[in-house]
């Protein structure tokens, strides 16, 4: 554990020696649970170290949980903690239902060594690590208040200014009071849903769509309706019929590099969607989380609409860091005002100032554009190479996306992708079966592949084997 | 701005010179909105610098928003951004209603220079700044995956282990699968509310209680019922009557150092609460955010109940950092399983691994206990000194708390505390009037003071003046 290494770095070897001596006594049962440890003064005198060394050693052992301080009465050996507690943590539950939560929980909790063609993010080595470390070192020298205070309710002004400039590149002209920062992109979507939806409302998503939209909407207890997705956006005729018939309150979509298909909304469909939405007073969440992966900018609903009925959402989890959590919402200023209140009530304040400081530094440093240029080139090659290899296994991309890291594919052998994913997980490979993305459950022959997590030859062996077994 | 200083630190003066030259041209209208900038190659040749210097300068100016990159076609001057946008940001809105959101929004958005006796946190100089900086420097050397990956769904195992040891010090024996990390203490409470409550449910809080419980419950559209709070806990007779009559689903409280009163739950009342709760199948959220400020540990509901119907919640915002956001929930393992799903759906994963790494390092470093010991001593003195000064103004503490930084006081001159707070805000002093804490709106003569934000003599002048004016 890194924290252990840190302890050794400070405080000197004497502290470590005292800690080892106590640990040995506990391990050898010379000291049992509940026993009082020698007083600081007496132990220091006995073994010939300074009292502060003993204090340091006791404090660290207490932080580890081996001993406990009782205020005013010294230190005692803690009750024994049974180690098997941690087992369920390391092994993700394999017996869970393959529902919209399945991919997220399996992929987030999987061991780092497990190949994850089913996951929705880039491997660490594809991320701008050097810029991140530089930003964190600078953070260590920031003002006290950045390190310890709550942030403002709308989030860092510096980062919001940088974001306005970036939105303007997509022709989304917003003012500073139309922009707020949130704890993550998902939290941004959730906040808007809390603001707009009541249990029982109808909400429209693409079919297929990002599986976590389904999980999120389930948490809001709304009626989820799917509209079939085509290579240039949702099926407009069906969209119009659904709006007229079901009167959904909200539509959630990705315009640029749609998840899971990698498709891009055409300008013509964007226009028709907005016209129909206006006729039925529909609000639209445009989740732009993959926008920066586009080689050339495609039209954004928020740009056409002028942030009137479109709420534009994004984050830095895919391009910069998913560990430093921060999302944003661009919307009508009066809605932002309400959303800020809602964020105060439910999170107390905006995102971590430590997080926004790191992100603002990386963005302001100017290396972000170069990083994204290189990333787009690498991804073009990776998509092409992986598509070729998949085709050799009878797995056909539904379309070749213009950018991003997903390939939405049909299993040409007629296999059921849920069965394939379950079998692959038995062999420690995480896949994303089609139906977790599908409201109508009509994607059982499909699978989403993340081309950046497909370098491991053993993973390909597993894939070949489970496909063959499922095809028989 | 710090980010500016960082830019100067890297890349050299030539980059800065190029940036200044472009800025001057834009300011002097030699380059207008939409004009194309010289190509990188030609500008480099003209002014005799390397192309990479020009690239660096353009990238930084683009990050600032002064110019924009169009992929494949160079850089252009961005449309002029009107500066007054930021004004509403710097000035918190003074005309807002004094409701449960009032103190949070005013205090979170106030300028650092504004004295804030009404706020709910410690000033930066009372926080363990050196330990924080040490932890952040260590973070800059952490594994790639810590810096860029999503975390596990329950949050850092290392931090949860440290937390189990700390909970055990309060006699709360939990296993690792009974503990999850969240984005903040407020998010922990919100998550539990989402899990347990439906619109229209009745929920019980103390009267007075932490104002944000009221804001949070309003967001959940539940019926909020208040139970009068006594110096040793809620009024038990009223508690029993309310449970029998209104059948609330949930009770939210602080056992140790109740906010705003600073009172502590007695063992006897704790026992009676739990007995009554069991008879009416009531769930209790015990928010322990001020627990570490106690000089001696008082009984916790979670310890008596064994995490059966009590859900124990906490965070590090008051003792370590409110900027590095992280809270936790200890509860029944089957509830934690559901809460983790809910957190995945609504936030995608647990809290920031960057945040949990920083907190775990500070806790494991062992200096936390010493920091808290010193803090408790400083606070004892501050409470006594401020109480004396307040009494001289006819402001009487309702009780002298055993710990913490709040004094819940009665304005003996009969002033209305909302009017006093409004008048003080006009003079740039933020106060917390009683009724924001009161469901029954019966605390108009009370005010909560944060003793750590009351060193400024001018603040005392303002307080004296507005009290006098309101008393006339």
Cβ A63–B365 below 8 Å, yes or no?
yes
Which among B46, B81, B116 is the end of a domain?
Answer: B81
Angle, CA A427 vertex, CA A421 and CA A432 arms, to 5° = 25
B322 reaches A (C-beta below 8 A): yes
| A321-376: pLDDT as tens digits | 999 999 999 999 999 999 999 999 999 878 899 999 999 999 998 788 899 999 99
ipTM: 0.83
Question: Looking at the complex, does the CB of residue B213 fall below 8 Å from at least one CB of chain A?
Answer: no
Residues of A in contact with B365 (CB under 8 A): 6-7, 10, 60, 63
pLDDT value at residue B93? 55
Using the beta-carbon criterion (under 8 Å), do A325 and B176 form an inter-chain contact? no
Phi, psi for A312 (deg, rounded to 5): -100, 130
Contact assignment for A216 to B146 by CB distance below 8 Å: no
Residue B435 zone, left/alpha/beta (φ > 0; ψ -120 to 50; rest): alpha
Whether residue B124 lies within 8 A of chain A, CB to CB, comes out as: yes
Clarify whether residues A46 and A154 are in a common domain: no
Test A1 with B64 for CB contact under 8 angstroms. Answer: no
CB contact under 8 A, B147 and A136: yes
Q: Where are the alpha helices (DSSP H) in B235-283?
A: 236-246, 267-279
Torsional class of B408: left (φ above 0), alpha (ψ -120 to 50), beta (otherwise) = beta
Q: Are residues B404 and B334 in the same domain?
A: no
The answer, for A109 touching chain B at a CB cutoff of 8 Å, is: yes
> A67-70 and A74-77: which strand pairing?
antiparallel
Of chain B, the end-to-end C-alpha distance in Å amounts to: 45
Residue of A nearest to B353 (CA): A323
Nearest to A345 among B198, B212, B321 (CB): B212
Q: How far apart are CA B196 and CA A229, in angstroms?
A: 35
Residues A316, B3: Cα–Cα separation, whole Å: 18
Looking at the structure, do residues A283 and A315 belong to the same domain, yes or no? yes
Distance CA B223, CA B213 (A): 12
Which string of DSSP letters, residue by residue, matches B319-369? TT-SSS--EEEE--HHHHHHHHHHHHHHHSSSS-HHHHHHHHHHHHHS-HH
Distance from C-alpha of A153 to C-alpha of A343, rounded to nearest angstrom: 8
Between helices A211-219 and B333-347, what is the axis angle to 10°? 120
How far apart are the CA of A396 and the nearest CA of chain B, in angstroms? 29
What is the tally of structural domains in chain B?
A: 3
Q: What is the DSSP letter of A285?
A: E
Tell me the mean pLDDT per 10 residues along chain B, length 472: 40 80 80 85 88 87 81 77 33 66 87 92 94 96 92 94 93 95 96 93 97 94 96 97 96 97 96 96 97 93 96 96 95 94 90 94 88 95 98 96 97 92 95 96 97 96 95 80
A191 and A321, same structural domain?
yes
- From B158's Cα to the closest Cα of chain A, the distance in A is 8
Closest CB from B146, B177, B198 relative to A85: B177
B134 Cβ partners below 8 Å, 6+ apart?
Answer: A10, B361, B365
User: Which residues of chain B have a CB within 8 Å of the CB of A177?
Assistant: 85, 88-89
Q: Do the Cβ atoms of B321 and A147 come within 8 Å?
A: yes
Question: Got the DSSP string for A10-52?
Answer: SSHHHHHHHHHHHHHHHHTTSS-TTPBPPPHHHHHHHHT--HH
Contact A364 B64 (CB under 8 A): yes
- Interface A-B, measured as beta-carbon pairs within 8 A, has a size of 367
Parts of chain A with a pLDDT under 70 = 1-11, 71, 80-95
Closest-approach residue (CA) in chain B for A108: B152
Q: Identify the CATH number of the domain in which residue B443 sits.
A: 3.90.1150.10
Q: Which residues of B60-86 are buried (b: 16+ CB within 10 A; e: fewer)?
A: bbbbbbbbbbeeeeebbbbeebeeebe
Q: Does A16 touch chain B (CB under 8 A)?
A: no
Domain containing residue A329: 129-365
B93 CB contacts (<8 Å, ≥6 apart)? Answer: B105
Q: A152 and B89 in contact by Cβ < 8 A?
A: yes
Same domain, B154 and B118: no
| A56, A215, A296: residue with CB nearest B345 | A215
Which of A349, A365, A381 terminates a domain? The answer is A365
Indicate yes or no: CB of B346 within 8 angstroms of CB of A153: no
Annotate B375-433 with three-state secondary structure.
HHHHHHHHHHHHHHHHHHCCEEECCCCCCCCEEEEEECCCCCHHHHHHHHHHCCCCCEE
Q: Is B129 on the interface with A (CB under 8 A)?
A: yes
Q: Is A139 on the interface with B (CB under 8 A)?
A: yes
| DSSP string for residues in B189-201 | HHHHHHHH--TT-
Residues of B in Cβ contact (< 8 Å) with A169: 68-69
CATH number of the domain where residue B11 is located: 1.10.10.10
Q: Are B332 and B211 part of one and the same domain?
A: yes
- Closest among A255, A251, A289, A292 to A270, alpha carbons compared: A255
Partner residue facing A109 (CB), from B64, B109, B153: B153
Interface test with A, best of B59, B108, B146 (most A CBs within 10 A): B108
A469 — contact with chain B (CB < 8 Å)?
no
- Which phi and psi angles does A432 have, rounded to 5°? -120, 95
What pLDDT, on a 0 to 100 scale, did the predictor assign at position A64? 77
Nearest residue to A286 via CA among A267, A258, A250, A310: A310
Residue A64: closest CA among chain B residues belongs to which residue? Answer: B162
SS3 at position B204:
strand
Cβ <8 Å between B219 and A164? no
CB A210 within 8 A of CB A236: no
Closest CA to A210 of A445, A442, A438, A464: A438
**What DSSP line would sit under B50-101, residue for residue?**
-HHHHHHHHHHHHHHTSEEEETTTEEEEPPPPPGGGGHHHHS--SSS--STT
Strand A432-433 to A446-450 pairing: antiparallel
Residue of B nearest to A105 (CA): B153
Contacts of A109 in chain B (CB under 8 A): 152-154
- A243 and A307 share a domain? yes
- Do both A291 and A335 map to the same domain? yes
Closest-approach residue (CA) in chain B for A5: B138
- Residue B323: its chain A contacts at CB < 8 A? 146-151, 352-354
Q: Which residues contact B152 (CB under 8 A, 6 or more apart)?
A: A89, A108, A109, B349, B350
β-pairing verdict for B202-207 and B223-230: parallel
Tell me the chain A residues in contact with residue B86 when contact means C-beta distances shorter than 8 Å: 157, 176
User: Are A114 and A164 found together in one domain?
Assistant: no
Q: With beta carbons under 8 A apart, name residues in chain A contacting B85.
A: 175-177
* Nearest CA distance, A394 vs chain B (angstrom): 32
Q: Which residues of A touch B347 (CB under 8 A)?
A: 183-184, 186-187, 190
Comparing CB atoms, the residue among B6, B198, B340 nearest residue A138 is B6
| Chain A nearest-CA residue for B3 | A361
Put simply, the chain A residues between 25 and 84 with a CB less than 8 A from any chain B CB are 55-56, 59-60, 62-65, 68-69, 71-72, 78-79, 81-82
State how far the Cα of A275 lies from the Cα of B53, in Å rounded to an integer: 47
| Closest of B258, B294, B278 to residue B380, by C-alpha | B294
Q: Which residues pair with A313 in a beta bridge?
A: A287, A329
Domain boundary pick from A54, A81, A108? A81
Nearest to B63 among A348, A357, A366 (CB): A366
CATH number at residue B147: 3.40.640.10
Residue A93 has a pLDDT of 55
B212/B255 same-domain check:
yes
Residues A403 and A340 in one domain: no
Residues A258, A311: one domain?
yes
pLDDT value for B80: 58
Q: Cβ distance B226 to B206 under 8 Å?
A: yes
Please tell me if residue B426 touches chain A, with a CB cutoff of 8 Å: no
Q: Do B325 and A185 touch (CB under 8 A)?
A: no
Cβ distance B212 to A348 less than 8 Å, yes or no, reads: yes
Q: What is the dihedral of CA B357, B361, B362, B366, to 10 degrees?
A: 160
């Amino acid at each position: 554990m890194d924290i252990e290494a840190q302890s050794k770095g400070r405080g000197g070897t004497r502290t470590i020696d005292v800690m080892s001596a106590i640990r040995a006594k506990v391990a050898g049962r010379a000291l049992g649970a509940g026993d009082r440890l020698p007083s600081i003064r007496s132990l220091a005198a006995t073994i010939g170290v300074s009292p502060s060394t003993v204090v340091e050693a006791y404090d660290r052992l207490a932080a580890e949980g081996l001993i406990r301080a009782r205020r005013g009465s010294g230190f005692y050996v803690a009750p024994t903690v049974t180690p098997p507690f941690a087992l369920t943590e390391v092994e993700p539950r394999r017996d869970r239902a393959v529902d919209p939560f399945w991919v997220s929980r399996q992929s987030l909790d999987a061991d780092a060594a497990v190949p994850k063609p089913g996951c929705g993010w880039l491997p660490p080595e594809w991320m701008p690590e050097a810029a991140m470390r530089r930003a964190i070192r600078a953070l260590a020298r920031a003002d006290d208040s950045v390190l310890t205070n709550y942030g403002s309710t709308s989030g860092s002004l510096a980062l919001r200014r940088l974001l306005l400039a970036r939105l303007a590149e997509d022709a989304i002209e917003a003012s500073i009071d139309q922009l707020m920062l949130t704890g993550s992109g998902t939290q941004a979507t959730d906040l808007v849903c809390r603001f707009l939806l009541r249990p029982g409302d109808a909400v429209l998503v693409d079919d297929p769509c990002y599986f976590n939209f389904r999980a999120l909407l389930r948490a809001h207890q709304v009626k989820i309706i799917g509209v079939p997705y085509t290579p240039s956006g949702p099926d407009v005729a069906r969209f119009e019929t659904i709006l007229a018939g079901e009167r959904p309150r909200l539509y959630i979509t990705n315009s640029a590099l749609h998840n899971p298909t990698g498709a891009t909304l055409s300008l013509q469909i964007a226009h028709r969607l907005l016209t129909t939405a206006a006729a039925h007073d529909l609000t639209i969440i445009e989740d732009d989380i993959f926008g920066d992966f586009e080689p050339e900018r495609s039209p954004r609903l928020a740009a056409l609409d002028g942030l009137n009925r479109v709420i534009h959402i994004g984050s830095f989890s895919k391009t910069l860091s998913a560990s430093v959590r921060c999302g944003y919402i661009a919307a009508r200023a009066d809605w932002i005002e309400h959303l800020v209140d809602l964020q105060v009530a439910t999170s107390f304040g905006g995102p971590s100032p430590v997080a926004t400081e790191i992100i603002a530094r990386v963005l302001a440093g100017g290396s972000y554009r170069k990083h994204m240029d290189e990333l787009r080139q690498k991804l073009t090659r990776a998509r092409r190479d992986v598509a070729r290899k998949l085709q050799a296994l009878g797995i056909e991309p539904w379309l070749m996306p213009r950018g991003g890291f997903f390939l939405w594919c049909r299993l040409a052998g007629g296999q059921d992708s849920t069965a394939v994913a379950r079998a692959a997980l038995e062999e420690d490979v995480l896949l994303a079966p089609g139906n977790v993305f599908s409201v109508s459950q009509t994607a059982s022959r499909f699978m989403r592949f993340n081309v950046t997590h497909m370098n491991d030859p053993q993973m390909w062996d597993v894939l070949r084997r489970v496909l063959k077994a499922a095809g028989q």
